[in-house]
Structures are given as structure tokens and as C-alpha cells.
């Protein structure tokens, strides 16, 4: 059997966007019976929330779509470059922070912006809903549902 394709979703604190993307991706993987082929994890570029569960407001927005957010925040490590096949940054700042940990550029080909997989949303970045109201959390879930579905399709078609 071939090794599973390993995805790492990355945002700033790993309590809102990236754990949402991880759990939404797991939802799509389960829906398509691909649990043995695709594994997901998430991390943050900053250390603010290490060990914390996903934000309760983000979880409430995800639960409206039948998705429970599970996991604990961790910080992105240099070893993640070797561990994962594809690293998905939620915004351009996260993207630059990740690339800065690889000054030789050896793994730059593995790092992509999450929104590059959106099918219906025109966004270039996943906005951080942390300081906003519930509509921001709901929007991020919708955006990530779109991006994760597009990402899954790209993986299945081997276009990543």
C-alpha cells in the first residue's frame, strides 16, 4: 500500500482557521471514503495558543454544518516540511512565515495558499475571524468548505 498523502493546514494561532480546515478536510475525506489515503493536521506559525482547543465560536459555526472541531493547537516546526506532502497557508503572512523557515527554498514547492483551491469564492486569503463577530466565523467555514472540496478534488486527480 502506498503512503497516505499528508496535509498540514497552517494559520497564525492554530485555534480558528487551520483547525477548521483540518476538520473540514477530514469531513470531505470521510464523505468520499478516502480515510486511508489522506491524512490532515494543523499548526500555527505563532506559539500563542499551544495546547488550546479550537475556538468555541469557530466550533459553533462548524457545528451548524455538522462538523465538530477537534484537536489541540501546536506550532509549526521545521520538521513539518519533511513530514507533510502539502502545507496550506491560510493567508499571505502565514505563507511568508512558513517560507522564512526554509531559507534554502528546498520545500517551497510544498507550500500553497489555501484559497488557491477555492471553486466559488474569489478570496485570495482566508480572513482571520478572531476579533470579529459570528458572521466572520460563518464566512470562514463556508470559504474553507469550498477550498477543502477543491483541494480534495485536486489530490484525487493528482494535480497538486
HEC per residue, the chain: CCCCEEEEEEECCCCCHHHHHHHHHHHHHHHCCCCCCEEEEEEECCCCCCCCCCCHHHHHHHHCCCCCCCCCCCECCCCHHHHCCEEEECCHHHHHHHHHCCCCCCCHHHEEEHHHHCCCCCCCCCCCCCCCCHHHHHHHHHHHHHHHHHHHHHHHCCCC
Active site (catalytic) residues = 11, 17, 128
Amino acid at each position: 500500500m502506498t503512503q497516505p498523502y499528508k496535509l498540514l493546514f497552517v494559520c497564525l494561532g492554530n485555534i480558528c482557521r487551520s483547525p477548521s480546515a483540518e476538520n473540514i478536510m477530514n469531513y470531505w475525506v470521510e464523505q468520499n471514503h478516502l480515510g486511508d489515503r489522506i491524512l490532515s493536521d494543523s499548526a500555527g506559525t505563532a506559539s500563542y495558543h499551544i495546547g488550546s482547543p479550537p475556538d468555541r465560536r469557530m466550533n459553533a459555526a462548524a457545528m451548524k454544518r455538522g462538523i465538530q472541531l477537534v484537536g489541540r493547537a501546536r506550532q509549526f516546526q521545521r520538521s513539518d516540511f519533511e513530514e507533510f506532502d502539502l502545507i496550506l497557508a491560510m493567508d499571505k503572512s502565514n505563507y511568508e512565515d512558513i517560507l522564512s523557515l526554509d531559507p534554502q527554498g528546498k520545500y517551497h514547492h510544498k507550500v500553497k495558499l489555501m484559497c488557491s483551491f477555492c471553486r466559488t469564492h474569489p478570496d485570495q486569503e482566508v480572513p482571520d475571524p478572531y476579533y470579529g463577530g459570528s458572521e466572520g466565523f460563518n464566512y470562514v467555514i463556508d470559504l474553507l468548505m469550498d477550498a477543502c472540496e477543491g483541494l480534495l478534488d485536486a489530490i484525487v486527480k493528482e494535480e497538486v
